[in-house]
Amino acid sequence: MSASAAIILALGVIHLIYTFWGPKLTPRDAALQASMREATLVITRETTLWKAWIGFNASHSFGAILFGLIYGYLALVHPVFLFESRFLLAVGLSLLGGYLVLGKLYWFSVPFTGIALASICYVAALIVGLTSQ
């Protein structure tokens, strides 16, 4: 379980760094980035597509970091509490499953592979944790 949490935590931290530093999450087409800085969303004119892009990427990173920190902490410091909570186990599995689907449909191989590995670790921890009770 801690390995699963560490993988997602690492992906979240790397994604947050890439969001604010360097060109990794910017379009290769400079004209597209310029257009994104000018275009507003249908829902509001208070922000641009570029600002929303940065905000969505940062908040996505925060979610992965939060998962990694909470599940890592619980796995290492309060494993009995974690493995006795069907709710927390289901929430964690659901989040990883959701990330796995998004990764396959919308992202690229590196995050998908990391999420798949984290999911395998999580399921293995569930099997070991639930069968040892």
What's the token pair of residue 21? Answer: 């530093």
- By the 10 Å C-beta count (0-12 exposed, 13-18 middle, 19+ buried), 39 is classed as exposed
pTM of the prediction? 0.91
* Tokens linked to 126: 């569930």
Strand runs labelled E in the chain: none
* CA–CA separation, 84 and 9 (whole Å): 23
How high does pLDDT run on average in the chain?
A: 95
Query: Look-up: residue for tokens 């499953």?
Result: 97
Q: What is the pLDDT of residues 57-67, one digit of tens each?
A: 999 999 999 99
